[in-house]
Amino acid sequence: MKRPLVAFILLLVLKQGLAQNRQLVLQHVRVINVLNGGLSGEVTVTISGNRITGISKTARPLPGATVMDAKGKYLIPGLWDMHVHLSYYGAGALPMLVANGITGVRDMGGDLGQIDQWRAAIAAGTLSGPRIKRAGPFIDGPKSMNALRASFTCTPADEAAVRLLVDSLQHAGADFLKVHSRLPHALFLALVDQARKQHIPVAVHLPRDVPPQEAVLTGIRSIEHTESLLGDVIYNEEEAAREQHTAAALKKLYGGYARQLAISMAAKQIFYDPTLISLYRLRGTAYEETLGPRLLPVVTALHQAGVKLLTGSDFAWKEAGIRPGYDLHGELALFCKAGLSPLEALQAATIHPAECLYMTDSVGVVEEGKIADLVILNANPLKDIRHTKNIYAVILNGRYLGRDTLHAMLGKAGGE
């Protein structure tokens, strides 16, 4: 090896080492414990590389550390959007998410190859974006709602095909599977059976001919969307008959049936991702525009029965009007409107996502040893959940992003 090359490699190794050991110190910050709503006094939080290495009243920064005075500020875990479609929106969503304090997302249907390129670039530090867990393609049935986006959708023809698909997605490294609304009943049962054998979690947009009570008993990980609890009502092509069907389905959901469903979901520890904000953003027929408020009591009932909620925005195409990052705060506000306390809403965006994704050893709380995906707020979100929008800085995988940096990122993304 030539000497200049050796020197160059040594420099790279040294730089890498320095990056890993770089210390970021937040002084005088108050830490929110999302497990119990506790609020610490002023402490010093030390971050080395991408990990939280200390939370104490006496810590002293190492020479060369970056020291930030966060007096009067509040530290929370980075937020998660548990229902996104990155491939539809494009890479422009990534800085919008980060600037809004979202440090992790669960991608619920998209182009696995493309998402993995973004994921690798984020891990390498060449692209700023949240941590990504992803399903890869939708698994759907005939007349798929996603037919226009065929490249993101698999429609297995029979039981053998569905089992093969589960195996191949597991082999491709999918973090979980995403079932959509047209998967036929028999194929749904084959899918969850094969997924159990392959130890891969299943997130479910309830198929129209699988009753919620039955789906709940199969061992799925999460149920997506509130309207999918209405059965096939929302997909009824007959506009005129829709209102009548909806009224009947809601009557059922406001009654004893819903209580039973909630009890089963809580007992089976199935997470529930209502994606309310997407319903509130629907613009079109009068039916669509009133659906959100009518479904709010369903979310209240499930929460009160002990079902763990997740925050998801369901952003996809730009034209649908759901804004990456910004609308996750709208989802948090709707959770409070449904009767959750600010702490409970915050849990749905932090610790519940960590539990749902089996990541409690690394994210979801502000604790020594955890990954430093954090948000520094100017005001206390336990008093008013709207304060999650009042962001002072974001710490992404140990990297401090102050207001100016976040603003510059949004400028590049063409965001707000």
CA distance 180 to 139: 6
CB-wise, 140 or 314, nearer to Zn ion? 314
Answer yes or no whether residue 327 interacts with Zn ion by CB under 5 A. Answer: no
H or E element: which one contains 177? Answer: strand 177-179
The site map against Zn ion for 294-323 (x = CB under 5 A) is: --------------------x---------
At closest approach, how far in Å is the CB of 229 from Zn ion?
Answer: 15
Burial 180-201 (b: 16+ CB within 10 A, else e): bbbbbeebbbbbbbbbeeeebb
DSSP secondary structure of 160-171: HHHHHHHHHHHH
CB-wise, 108 or 357, nearer to Zn ion? 108
CB-wise, 149 or 329, nearer to Zn ion? 149
CB-wise, 316 or 351, nearer to Zn ion? 316
First to last CA, the chain: 50
At closest approach, how far in Å is the CB of 225 from Zn ion?
Answer: 7
Sole window of 9-17, 31-39, 63-71, 102-110 interacting with Zn ion (rule: CB under 5 A): 102-110
Beta-carbon count within 10 A of 55 CB = 18
At closest approach, how far in Å is the CB of 83 from Zn ion?
Answer: 6
The site map against Zn ion for 104-133 (x = CB under 5 A) is: ----x-------------------------
At closest approach, how far in Å is the CB of 87 from Zn ion?
Answer: 11
Order of strands across the sheet with 79-84? 79-84, 102-107, 131-134
At closest approach, how far in Å is the CB of 275 from Zn ion?
Answer: 7
Closest CA to 77 of 377, 310, 330: 377
CB-wise, 108 or 183, nearer to Zn ion? 108
Ranges within 230-289 binding Zn ion (CB under 5 A): none
Using Cβ positions, the residue closest to Zn ion within the complex turns out to be 314
Q: Please tell me what DSSP assigns to residue 392.
A: E
CA torsion sign for 22, 27, 32, 35 is positive
What type of residue is 326? Y
CB-wise, 46 or 144, nearer to Zn ion? 144
Closest CA to 303 of 255, 261, 262, 354: 262
CA distance 208 to 319: 26
At closest approach, how far in Å is the CB of 210 from Zn ion?
Answer: 17
| 3-state class (DSSP) for residue 86 | helix
At closest approach, how far in Å is the CB of 56 from Zn ion?
Answer: 42
Sole window of 101-109, 226-234, 286-294, 336-344 interacting with Zn ion (rule: CB under 5 A): 101-109
At closest approach, how far in Å is the CB of 279 from Zn ion?
Answer: 12
CB-wise, 106 or 131, nearer to Zn ion? 106
CB-wise, 270 or 393, nearer to Zn ion? 270
Residues touching Zn ion, count (CB under 5 A): 2
At closest approach, how far in Å is the CB of 88 from Zn ion?
Answer: 9
Closest CA to 312 of 291, 288, 328: 328
CA distances for 138 relative to 100, 134, 165, 178, 371, angstroms: 27, 11, 11, 5, 30
CB-wise, 24 or 96, nearer to Zn ion? 96
What is the binding site for Zn ion (CB under 5 A)?
Answer: 108, 314
